[in-house]
Structure 1
Amino acid sequence: MTVDLNDLGSTTLRNESDVEQKLIYPLLTAQEWLALPERAVFSKKYLPPATIDKGSGRKTGYFPDYSVWLNGFPVLIVEAKSPLEEVGEGFREAQLYAHEVNKAYPTGIAPIQTVMCTNGKVVRVGSWDSHDHRDYPVTELQIGSSARSELIERLGTEAMQQQADRTSARFRPTQTFRPINAIGGDPTLNRRLDLNSFATDIAPLIRMFFVSDSAEKIDDIIRRAYVSTNETTKYDTILESFLRDNIKKIQDPAAKPISTTANREELLTPELRRFQQNLPATGHMQLIIGSVGSGKSLFCRRYQRFLQPEDVKNSTYWTFVDFNTAPENLNDIETWMCRSFVQSFQDNHPEMDLDDPETLERIFAPDVNRTTKLYRRAGESEEKIRIRVAEALSKCIDDPQKFSQEICRYINGDQSKVVVVVFDNVDKLDSGDQIRVFQAAQWFRAKTRSFCLLPLRDETYERYKNRPPLDAFINAIHFTIEPPRFIDVVRKRLELCLEYIANSAPKTLSYSLPDGKKITYPATRLGEFLKTLYLDIFRSGRRISWLLEALAGRDVRHALEMFTRIIMSGHLDERHITGTVLGTEKFRIRDSTIINVLMKSDYVYFDNSHGFLSNVLYANPKWSRHSNFLVFEILDYLVKRRKEVSPLGAQGYFRVSDVISYINRLGFAPDDALDALNYLVVQGLLTPDHFGKKALNEEDFVRAHASGFVHSRLLLENIHYVAGIAPVTYLNDRNVSEKIGRLSLVNAGFSDTQFPRKKEIGSLLLEYLKSEFNRQAEEAPLFANLATSSRFLIRMIESSLDVRFRELGTGIEGGLL
């Protein structure tokens, strides 16, 4: 379709469809004309059908051809007619529809002030509720014409935005209130809680076995706490479905799943042997595909240290280029990559001293020989030749690309061995940067003839595998890796922990209670406590384990951090700990305790930055229209559609602009919706397709994370979560806010409010949300019918007040999962 934007009247229009596409849409959206944002212009069926009066009869199921929305309000109705029809009839229909829409709003508020109709010959613009109108011949719609100037003044972006702002101002609450401010504000919010007394004895074990990046027993962890394929258990059926099915299983015939046992690995070894036998001039690139935290790095390091057969071990030099330390700007990534390779080579192979002149002469032998021959032929003395050689070596080692290339030449050329380069933590970059690194790794492989292992995120591979440059590997054999479960990872670490306690810990340990009483107990009871805690959390059928595994998603590091916070937290009742370690009572950890730890970590009060949970009632006081439903509506919209096919290949991804378009109809402003989407991404409840830290734009895609699933399905029916998020939730009712604040006060010496107070807080919040639902239904006519997620939210909070539902998840209907 070609449209001359300098002269809209020059286009031939034969029917109503031509009028819509070749005249109306360019007129509305082109920068040369009204310049309305494309995201603000919607075609038929965006608004609901209406019955309007048409002459002597009635017209049912009527949709306007276009509607323009700003700030969550319809501001313009546009009707198209065929060139064979009269413009007056279409103008009248547009007015009648605008009347139907406006009357759904509160008395005195009419968001649609203007309507437009054109039959391709005349553009008629007028008021929604009078006979006043102005006709503009289409032949006059040219750049520089008075018709253009008048249309822009009346219907352009600035005029329409002013109309939307006037409407919006009549609805926006004048103030918002945060309950915690009634009891001291941020100083109160940031009160810290001491770790439990038992944590002193646990802390050394945590450092040894649970902190992934800096564990003191890292070799033991890699060798003995790695969860091999044959040891991995299955998730609960529903959680298994959510965590795994949201990514389309890689079906390529060339995809080979990594399978490991305690002592063997069957895929990488044959590839390395083949490479060593042939030493191809182009090197080799081996992709390892899996999710963030699935264990790709751990697999590589475990293979290098413990699984290599002797023949492979004796013929390989391993290096690790860690992209955790890569520069933010990857424009000169090749140079950084080479410099990191040289440093890693020296760190991993100290026997080959790269500062030693003799070693350097062997590495740069071709350059040394060339320099020696040239200067010897020129008659230079041997002393001067040695100086010339030293100068040449100095230049070589100052060039990281040259240095990398010659190290590899020396290893695979002179020694006939293999340089293995692991490009580590590439999968933590956003998807675009991962592809950039893939290209740089290809360059490095070709230059150095090395065997390169490149971990890529599974979703990045699925998105780009059919596009350059990744399409070149579509038929190449690549390895896939599935992450172990939270329960399996923690179990293996605990086994090491218990063994250490049995063999190396002091015979007795002691700690002091808050009242000063000293407790001494056998060290073996520490292990028993940890084992009992683990078994209680993950006992069969307990939904709290869902919460933990979903929050961790498929990230092992995140899983370990949560478990350590639970066992060291001051929210863990010391009386129960004491009874357990002394053997006087059987330990049981309540759901409420775990939720408190996950919400608050080492703090007395919840905040989004304090723990692992997020506030799904969050409302930014800077939004143009305050609502505690917006975040949940977006989250639940994506959770419910998690199985739908995505243009990206992986399931459940939706374009940001499409999510905003849906939310727009509920009366939420697009800018508010975009801010809410960014909030959900930052909190880890949604995953963007680029996987980076940058803010979303409307062309990005997002999907619900497993954490978003449990936030939308489990937590709101738990009174401890509801009462925990209430103090930091901005409300627009001062009275309710202050009451919730006073009820939320935690007295000195305590770590939480009493259960009856939590029920009072929940009841206040519930009544407030019901009132807010009714207010928004009045202010945005489509909200009442479309806001099914908000209704579900209210039902969940109602169930949180039911004393029958003590354990997490017991009040949920199966169909809602």
Structure 2
Amino acid sequence: MGLDNCDKRNRDEQLLMFQVAKWVQHEVRCLVILPLRLETFENHRNEPPLDTALKDLIFRIEPPPFQEVLTKRLRLVLATAKIDSSSGPLTYQMSGGTVMLSPDKLERYLRMMMGSLFEYERYGRRIIVGLAGRDTRRAFEIFLEFCRSGYISEADIFQSQATGEHQFLSKAVISRVLLRTNRRFYDGDESFVKNLFQCDPASESPDPFLRYNILSWLRHHRMGRGPSGIRGYHRLQSLASDLVAHGANFESVLEQCQYLARAGCILSEHLRSDSFSPDDLIAITPAGQVHLQLAQNDQHYLGACAEDCWMADANFAYNMQRRMAITPYWKSLAWHITLDSAWDLVGYLKTVRNKQLAYDGRFLAQSDRDRWQINLDIITNDIEREILNDRAKYHIRPST
């Protein structure tokens, strides 16, 4: 007897189904297979009712690396395509007509997609694997959206098809696809990659650092043990107390924790994301780690976030509107435009930070927030270096 999809439920429902399984075993002589999430079992294995589980009958299924799963799936797809094309080329019906291609072209295209994500700089691999965590199905969803993106130009595809060699997409194209998928402008609420610098203008105290600070605080305390003794899980009240002491609004902290939980950046001990209370225990996930890395080190991400941030600065808004309205659209995605947007975003965040420091200084003589707040000076230096390198490429040296 198997109780399928139990691992898709929250913690309390999983523990209840364990009790149901024990009752069924007692009433009916049978073998009951009950899938539980790793977090549920590891966090409560020594507590009732899981402490009654027979250790010899516990099996852990570790998901294989996503790259291996994807490689085998694509081999199966290509093998099936070659069988289907034995009587002619592959055909696909679209709104504009019928598309015909050979399996060899399909294979070159898929190999270009895989190579760009998993071999070239491994930039895409870190993002996809981090966002998906242990969820292989979600990783496939991101990969499919990547392959269908309109930001992969005909020239990129033709180069691979014409030469027959392993061609890779540039880092700029990969980041553009992962951030925007098929949207003209970046929208953090709709993208796989969320905007950590967005804030609600209707909030009592809009704070563009709140989402980042929540994740960074959890990362800073990830090795510590919370009230339950589980490493990395801390009471939401402790997180909120530190943030509120630096000007955050308590209700906003709860709201943004729910947002980050729905985005997969935060995991609560009860495994729900619909409602949080101050006593809930939460921890950062691999997806949350990826978002922090992008915010600290990726100018493509910062440039995209600049399009989707609410800013109390008319000049900033005007500059962004002017850049986003450049035609044709692909010119607005040029590297120097991205760097300019990232520069303006960090400059605005510095202004907000200085105001917060001036306000906090009247009340907090000492604080450890530098350990978990973003270092804007390092990011500014990185962007400035990229801007100088970009300009140097077009500098015409005098003839000798």
**Interval containing the TM-score (normalised by the shorter chain):** 0.7 to 0.9
Cα distance change of structure 1 residues 555 and 746 upon mapping to structure 2, 3 Å threshold: farther
Report the Cα offset of residue 708 of structure 1.
0.8
Q: Taking CA–CA contacts closer than 8 Å with sequence separation of 6 or more, which of the two structures ends up with the larger relative contact order?
A: 1
Cα distance change of structure 1 residues 711 and 801 upon mapping to structure 2, 3 Å threshold: farther
Instruction: Tell me if 1:710 matches 2:293.
Output: no
Alignment equivalent of 1:792, drawn from 363, 371, 375 = 375
Alignment match, 1:489: 69
SS at match of 2:375: helix
Aligned-pair RMSD on alpha carbons?
2.8
Q: Which has the higher strand share?
A: 1
Asked whether the equivalents of residues 439 and 469 of structure 1 are also in contact (C-alpha less than 8 Å), the reply is: yes
Alignment equivalent of 1:644, drawn from 224, 247, 252 = 224
Alignment match, 2:245: 665
Alignment match, 2:235: 655
CA distance in 2, matches of 1:586, 1:541: 14
CA distance in 1, matches of 2:247, 2:343: 26
Asked whether the equivalents of residues 631 and 676 of structure 1 are also in contact (C-alpha less than 8 Å), the reply is: yes
CA distance in 1, matches of 2:165, 2:192: 30
Alignment match, 1:538: 118
Report the Cα offset of residue 475 of structure 1.
4.2
Asked whether the equivalents of residues 7 and 14 of structure 2 are also in contact (C-alpha less than 8 Å), the reply is: yes
Report the Cα offset of residue 738 of structure 1.
2.7
Asked whether the equivalents of residues 199 and 206 of structure 2 are also in contact (C-alpha less than 8 Å), the reply is: yes
- For residues 718-757 of structure 1, the aligned pairs below 5 Å read 718-745=298-325, 747=327, 750=330, 753-757=333-337
Report the Cα offset of residue 762 of structure 1.
1.4
Alignment match, 2:162: 582
- For residues 148-297 of structure 1, the aligned pairs below 5 Å read none
Length, aligned pairs only: 382
Report the Cα offset of residue 741 of structure 1.
2.5
Alignment equivalent of 1:550, drawn from 117, 127, 130 = 130
CA distance in 2, matches of 1:774, 1:694: 34
CA distance in 2, matches of 1:718, 1:459: 31
Compute the TM-score of the two structures, normalised by the length of structure 1: 0.44
CA distance in 2, matches of 1:668, 1:603: 32
Asked whether the equivalents of residues 551 and 706 of structure 1 are also in contact (C-alpha less than 8 Å), the reply is: yes
Asked whether the equivalents of residues 642 and 651 of structure 1 are also in contact (C-alpha less than 8 Å), the reply is: yes
SS at match of 1:453: coil
Counterpart residue identity of residue 460, structure 1: T
Instruction: Tell me if 1:478 matches 2:68.
Output: no
Deviations 1:468-492 (A, max 9, x none): 2222116453111111112111111
Cα distance change of structure 1 residues 555 and 752 upon mapping to structure 2, 3 Å threshold: farther
Cα distance change of structure 1 residues 429 and 737 upon mapping to structure 2, 3 Å threshold: same
Asked whether the equivalents of residues 343 and 383 of structure 2 are also in contact (C-alpha less than 8 Å), the reply is: no
Gaps of 5+ in 2: 390-400
Report the Cα offset of residue 529 of structure 1.
2.2
Alignment match, 1:682: 262
Counterpart residue identity of residue 796, structure 1: I
Deviations 1:735-786 (A, max 9, x none): 3223222222364664962222222211211211111111000111249954
SS at match of 1:703: strand
Alignment match, 2:386: 803
Cα distance change of structure 1 residues 531 and 649 upon mapping to structure 2, 3 Å threshold: farther
Alignment match, 2:394: none
Report the Cα offset of residue 530 of structure 1.
0.9
CA distance in 1, matches of 2:387, 2:340: 17
- For residues 28-43 of structure 1, the aligned pairs below 5 Å read none
Asked whether the equivalents of residues 766 and 798 of structure 1 are also in contact (C-alpha less than 8 Å), the reply is: no
SS at match of 1:559: helix
Instruction: Tell me if 1:772 matches 2:352.
Output: yes
SS at match of 2:34: strand
Cα distance change of structure 1 residues 800 and 784 upon mapping to structure 2, 3 Å threshold: farther
Report the Cα offset of residue 464 of structure 1.
2.1
CA distance in 1, matches of 2:209, 2:329: 35
Compute the TM-score of the two structures, normalised by the length of structure 2: 0.86
Deviations 1:408-455 (A, max 9, x none): xxxxxxxxxxxxx21111111111111112222222333333321000
SS at match of 2:382: helix
Report the Cα offset of residue 537 of structure 1.
1.9
CA distance in 2, matches of 1:600, 1:664: 33
Instruction: Tell me if 1:701 matches 2:284.
Output: no
Tell me the percent identity.
26
Deviations 1:482-537 (A, max 9, x none): 1111211111111112212333236545899xxx9x99754312112212321332
Gaps of 5+ in 1: 1-420, 807-817
Alignment equivalent of 2:79, drawn from 473, 476, 499 = 499
Report the Cα offset of residue 645 of structure 1.
2.9
